[in-house]
Amino acid sequence: MREPTRGDGRIEVRPEIELSWKRSALCGVDPGGAFDAEPAADLDLSSRLLRAARPVLDEIGVQIEGTELCVLLADPDCRIVARVFDTPAVERRMERLGAIIGSRFGEDRAGTNALGTPLELRRGIIVNGDEHYLEQFRELSCYGHPIIHPVTRRVEGILDMTCIAPQVNSLFAPFLQRAAADIQKRLLDGSRASEQRLVDAFHRVSPQGRLAVAAIGEDVLLANRAAQEMLDVADHAVLRGLVGDLRPDQSRVVDLELASGEPVTVHVDRIAGADGGALFRVSPAERRSTPIPRGSSRIEPGARVRAEVRRLRDTRESVAILGEPGTGRTSAARDVAGDTGTRWLDATQVVVQGVGSWVTELGAHLRDGAVVVVEQVHLLPESVLSLLASALTGDGPRVVLTAAPGPDLPGPVASLVARCPGQVSLPPLRQRLTELPDLAQGVLDEIAPGTRLTAPALAALAAAPWPGNLAELRVVLGDAARRVAPGDGGRSASRIAVSDLPEHYRTSERLARLGGRERAERQAIVEALDACGGNKVHAAAQLGISRSTLYARMRALDITVESANRA
């Protein structure tokens, strides 16, 4: 780590600056190296931040006349999105140092500076000349202040005021703090305005007879009487999913089936300026074609599996049922084999019984002529696999195998499975999220009749990774159902809210509404953080992104080191 000097002695370093130097060093920033000012190509120059900041920046431009100052605005990824200069000479000098639109000033690229460091600290900070980590910035002194949304508490941007001098003027901080507060207020007003646009759109349409109308936004859910009677809480999550790929003012018409089983036609209008909010008009569908179940254009994975199991139930061929733990391999095997006269063996018992005893039992079952189910064959030793393979040929009894997913099987087990004419691959729960309302309610009907999930609770469950699949879902719902059981603290309503779920499943609604691509991105970041023990520098390197980008995506996707550790 560098140690800046002034004259012939070492200067005293403030703790926050010293920590910033350490972060910069960990990111591999070379104090004597050149700053890479290559601009980002994916800037949003019509963002909510810029709309809120533009009038404030225009006023700043008037106020700094004759001061030889410049003010920079960066987005949450620490990329410069707007600049205000006193004179063209100041502009040229700053551009030579890399302060151009799109250039990234995160600490991982620019070291200690008044854009990247306030982003890390989430508060304002002065960075005087010698406190910059990169030598080329030491002719500058700056004050940077984050712009934090008053409601979400997310960092929406960073304001920086820079002068060409050894130290900043003491008035920089209060001046920039007022400017940041003005932008924050305009952000809040803009949020209220976006909500109002959605409300106005709803009121223009909702009185139309018996038409069911709903408006759903970031923090708004409106429904007229017809919509309240028609839509179940589970339907709200499905409607949200129809908006993800629509642009502002774009519309679509979709046929789907509600949680009640009623086929409907949904007209979706995304409202411009409503921050992703949309208007939904729902009417009974004319059965001109098969409705698209749950907003999908394809047959649900669970429905495909059930159809294949029904087909195989009526055959005599051997069957391999593949899937992750908890996906229902045993239940599917029981459905295929039937309960009457079926013999069951589990490969995990080889360790307890010994290979010889287990093989003897297998042979006895095969000689009985009944259907033989062998579970978890991927755990069998190779010597037993060859014996089992011989049982799959000829006119012997029917054999049903259960095993891990195909790509996870070692060669000898994959060869055994390939001998089965019938194969069923059970999808993991994370690939069946459109079925989650029905799956969850089915479990609740079995373990706690009369209990239902609220829409936010269902959305929170949809955001979970579900490594334990259906078995994990049963445990989670069982725990939640016990919390809301009548008589628990005088509570009589059997409705499971987010607060009733186990702590690790209490996901925010914003996270629950992430699209497929964002979910995949979130999972990749969580796995990288877990593999790196929570070290963000190493995780960013593993992912091939900058640390500031990683921080920004973690904030956007509701990721904490704690959430990564428990995943």
Task: State the DSSP string of 441-508.
Answer: HHHHHHHSTT-EE-HHHHHHHHTS--TTHHHHHHHHHHHHHHHTSTTBTTB---EE-GGGS-GGG---
Query: How far apart are alpha carbons 400 and 374 in whole angstroms?
Result: 6
Work out the pLDDT band at 166, boundaries 50, 70, 90.
very high
pLDDT higher than 60, residue 295: no
Both structure tokens of 193? 């305005």
Instruction: Give the pLDDT of residue 292.
Output: 43
CA distance 27 to 14: 20
Q: At residue 264, does pLDDT exceed 70? A: yes
Write the pLDDT tens digit of every residue in 326-378: 999 999 999 988 767 789 999 999 888 899 999 999 888 888 878 899 999 99
Question: Is the pLDDT reported for residue 489 higher than 50?
Answer: no
The residues, ordered by sequence, that sit 6+ positions from 390 with a Cβ below 8 Å of its Cβ are none
Q: Which residues pair with 74 in a beta bridge?
A: 80, 158
Residue 517 has pLDDT above 80, yes or no: no
pLDDT value, residue 462: 81
Higher pLDDT, 503 or 163: 163
* pLDDT, averaged across the chain: 83
Task: Decide: helix, strand or coil at residue 430.
Answer: helix
φ, ψ of residue 284 to 5 degrees: the values are -55, 135
Supply the pTM of this predicted model. Answer: 0.46
Over residues 136-157, the pLDDT tens digits come to: 999 999 999 999 988 777 889 9
- Work out the pLDDT band at 158, boundaries 50, 70, 90: very high
